[in-house]
Amino acid sequence: MNNMFPPQMDPQAWMAQFSDPNAWKAWTQAAPLDTKPITATVKEFGATIDPSTLSKLQSDYMQQMTSLWQEMLNAKAPAIGDRRFASPEWHSNPMFAFNAAAYLLNARFLMALADSVEAAPRAKQKIRFAVQQMVDAMSPANFLVTNPEAQQKIIETKGQSLTKGIAHMLEDMQKGRISQTDESAFEVGRNVATSEGAVVFENEFFQLIQYKPLTKSVYERPLLLVPPCINKYYILDLQPENSLVRYAVEQGHTVFLVSWINPDKSLAHATWDDYILQGVVKAINVVQEISGQDQINALGFCVGGTLLSTALSLLFARGEKPVASLTLLTTFLDFSDTGVIEVFVDEAQVAMREKAIGNGGLMPGRDFASAFSSLRPNDLVWNYVKANYLKGEEPPPFDLLYWNADSTNLPGPMFCWYLRNLYLENNLRVPGKTKVAGEPIDLTKIDAPTFIYGSREDHIVPWTSAYESTKLLNPKKRDRNRFVLGASGHIAGVINPPAKKKRSHWINDVNADSADEWMADAQERPGSWWPEWAEFLKEHGGKQVPAPKKYGDTKYTQIEPAPGRYVKVKADH
């Protein structure tokens, strides 16, 4: 898809080309975009586009392009309703305004073309994803010669912005990724992951952190947090004002947290079973021993929730009842609808991964980061290309984006099992379909009240999929499940402390048969969902007891202060 206005040409000379009606006719006949790459992709997936639909789209396109061209000839700047082109430089010059408007028209045409494809849902989603990636990449805002903001910046800074932009690009080429924040502004243990605590247990898979109480008395049942092993744990403990860890401690809970190792070659053969048995199950047992409680409260975030639910299914099947309550944040248990991530998971891609690392090896953390960024390319890729490289700006410090860049590897066998059994075959939702340590996994065996949270704009775990957990857990006692929906996305929706008084959340005491039915009767409430969770946790915390005065016990003593060594290991180490 080419930009419709050659920016390197003098606009008067360019317009003069079309003063001749014959030239205008020739241009308009050639104006429709070259759809061959898209139609080739469509055929590759065995899909089709109805000829009448294609003809209608092309006709509409030509009408709109003609109208846009007439505006240009009349020196009327076209309306540009896109935040990528919000700066005055795009509107003050008709050349750039036309270029942006033509791009947006082309983008709408191509996306409408992708939406018109007649194909199986998975194939159609892949086609749409591929077209969206191309459309986003070809924005005139992404190129120096077509971006008036960047050009103006060069003039204002006498070329310094261009020099800085090239330097930023070269630095990022060395890193192998685009810088989204000033990474020098943060350090784990100094100004992120600062909640006071100590490591009281460690093995080759994780360190267990116990946090210092902030209240004189605590609930007798401790709280164990299981973050995703695909990211660093400190998303739950960024800074004091947005730390879920600190919030839970302030509510009077003795908080323990799993800090996963960033695997190197020594764990290249680790499996899903290892992460369950040597990870989650071991953490539960250690917390039980230290607290002296048979039952604890447990929270799992994202894949941490999937691991935790699998481990609890195993333990309940063995006749144990280790939890008084379960909390799942943006967690898949039913993988029927995985949203746009589906484009990365099919038989061919999974088989390729299995061949490469299924019997040993590492899934690099940078690959995860690239895949997740591609789900929101304008926000997580092109926005920074424009700011860092074209305009030479320094990325501002932002703790969440610092965490986002601190990626984590995964062992190949573990990752491939996860892809095939859960994402591809969706075996976890079927009782007994999959096994851990030889034990059939049945989520219905988990007998505990459950708090389930989803984020409304989540592009990684669609909230409707998170809602499906209300049917898989406690299926005969669904009133024991509480679902809460928060605003925003996968991370920002979760990390929404009450003090910020931001966003809103939805509640409904009735668990409907479908997510849409639940939402239809849900009540919107302003602010964070955290207090809703705090009330749930309070119900299952047990009685109040004096806060522990030391970390661990006689068997599990302090190894080192929090945040510990494991969280500081980089993926490229």
**In angstroms, what CA-CA distances link 193 with 125, 306, 439, 492?**
38, 24, 36, 17
256 shares its domain with 169 = no
Q: What is the pLDDT of residues 462-473, one digit of tens each?
A: 999 999 999 999
pLDDT, residue 122, reads: 83
Residues 6+ apart with CB under 8 A from 43: none
| Active site residue ranges | 302
Q: Which two tokens stand for residue 530?
A: 């955290």
DSSP single-letter state for residue 354: H
- Where does the pLDDT of residue 30 fall: very low under 50, low under 70, confident under 90, or very high at 90 and above? very low
Range of 177's domain?
157-185+365-394
Report the Cα 479 to chain-centroid distance in Å: 30
Dihedral angle sign, alpha carbons of residues 85, 91, 97, 101: positive
358 shares its domain with 376 = no
pLDDT, residue 418, reads: 97
**Average pLDDT over every residue of 368-396:** 90
**Average pLDDT over every residue of 283-301:** 98
Q: What is the pLDDT of residues 454-463, one digit of tens each?
A: 999 999 999 9
Q: Say which CATH number the domain at 528 has.
A: 3.40.50.1820
pLDDT, residue 28, reads: 34
147 shares its domain with 206 = no
SS3 category, 377: helix
- Where does the pLDDT of residue 7 fall: very low under 50, low under 70, confident under 90, or very high at 90 and above? very low
pLDDT, residue 25, reads: 37
**What CA–CA distance (Å, rounded) separates 64 from 54?**
15
Output the average pLDDT for the chain: 90
96 shares its domain with 121 = yes
DSSP single-letter state for residue 77: P
Q: Which two tokens stand for residue 337?
A: 């609808």
386 shares its domain with 513 = no
310 shares its domain with 435 = yes
356 shares its domain with 430 = yes
Q: Is residue 2 part of a domain?
A: no
260 shares its domain with 352 = yes
User: pTM for this structure?
Assistant: 0.89
**What CA–CA distance (Å, rounded) separates 567 from 234?**
8
What total number of domains does the chain contain?
A: 3
| Pairing assessment for the beta strands 544-546 and 117-118 based on DSSP bridges | unpaired
Q: Is residue 4 part of a domain?
A: no
134 or 225, which is more confident?
Answer: 225
pLDDT for residue 47 is more than 60:
yes
Q: Is residue 573 part of a domain?
A: no
Q: Is residue 128 part of a domain?
A: yes
Q: Is residue 6 part of a domain?
A: no
Q: Is residue 5 part of a domain?
A: no
pLDDT for residue 360 is more than 50:
yes
pLDDT for residue 157 is more than 90:
yes
pLDDT, residue 35, reads: 59
Report the percent of the chain where pLDDT is more than 70.
91
Q: Is residue 236 part of a domain?
A: yes
